[in-house]
Amino acid sequence: MQHYLLRACLLREGVAPWHYVDFLLFASDLLLLQQDNDIIRFRHLLLRDHFAALTLERIKALGEHADR
């Protein structure tokens, strides 16, 4: 239940898609993520650190910019 509630909250905020596994597999196909069995991680540590440093406000601003 908590899993689906978290997914719904992330979807409502516009920061994650509902079909998250498909999103992760797509990012893996683009070589942004690396899948090793059940573990998915960033291929590049600088990219991981960049996303980790983003604030929710910045993520929303990027999403609004992409909608234009």
Domain count, the chain: 1
- Specify the long-range contacts of residues 56-61, CB closer than 8 Å, at least 24 apart: 56/13, 56/15, 59/14, 59/15, 60/13, 60/14, 60/15
User: Looking at the predicted structure, is the pLDDT value of residue 66 above 70?
Assistant: no
Q: Helix or strand or coil: residue 3?
A: helix
Residue 15 structural domain: 2-67
Question: 3 pLDDT band (50/70/90 cuts)?
Answer: confident
Report which DSSP code applies to 19: S
User: Looking at the predicted structure, is the pLDDT value of residue 62 above 80?
Assistant: no
Question: 1 pLDDT band (50/70/90 cuts)?
Answer: confident
Q: Virtual CA dihedral for 26, 46, 6, 40, nearest 10 degrees?
A: 50
